[in-house]
Amino acid sequence: MKKKPIYLYVLLAMSSLLTLWGALGQFTTTPDSVIGVIKESYQKQNIPETQVEEFLKLFRKTTEFDLNTAHKVFVVVSLLLLFVALFLLIKKRLLQANLTYLGYLLLKILFMIYNFVGKNALIRSVQTSNSALIEGTIQLNRMSSIIGIVFVFIPISLVLYKLWRQQKAVEE
């Protein structure tokens, strides 16, 4: 009896849920829907108005970048790749399903790099008197990009290992 590729079902399910969650945020969120809540929260903490306005200016720019057309296209293409991989898996075309999922993961890495470079340029372009705000945001962007890429390499390594094992089994 041949083993079922449970690892791929789990990875596809988790990736699909996360991508659908991202799609929901991508197509329903606006910068203005969040800014009012943030402003109110900062005012309750008695943070000076100038600092709040500088933060909100930076927040608005980065949120607009996160909601641009390239991000929307990425979400749609990602969902398509995941559904194709799931379809191939159901049709028992395991090699093609694995390769399609790897394509999704590589696209995700490329988009993380695009996001990192684009946000850094955007953050540096914001004029503010608070250099700590800019540097802190750049550091946060750097750390989130590194952590994101590390988390993407976990499923990549698992799929590549399984492909290697399958190839080894075929050769024997």
Integer Cα distance of 66 and 104 in angstroms:
19
Average pLDDT over residues 85-103: 95
Higher confidence at residue 125 or residue 91? 91
C-beta neighbour count of 155 within 10 angstroms: 21
Q: What are phi and psi of 4, to 5 degrees?
A: -85, 145
Integer Cα distance of 26 and 69 in angstroms:
10
Which position has the token pair 């659908």?
A: 20
DSSP state of 92: T
pLDDT at 1 over 60: no
pLDDT tens readout for residues 100-115: 999 999 999 999 999 9
DSSP per-residue string spanning 66-91: HTSHHHHHHHHHHHHHHHHHHHHHHT
Q: Can you give the pTM of this predicted structure?
A: 0.88
Q: What is the pLDDT of residue 148?
A: 94
Q: What is the pLDDT of residue 70?
A: 93
In the chain, % of residues over pLDDT 90: 58
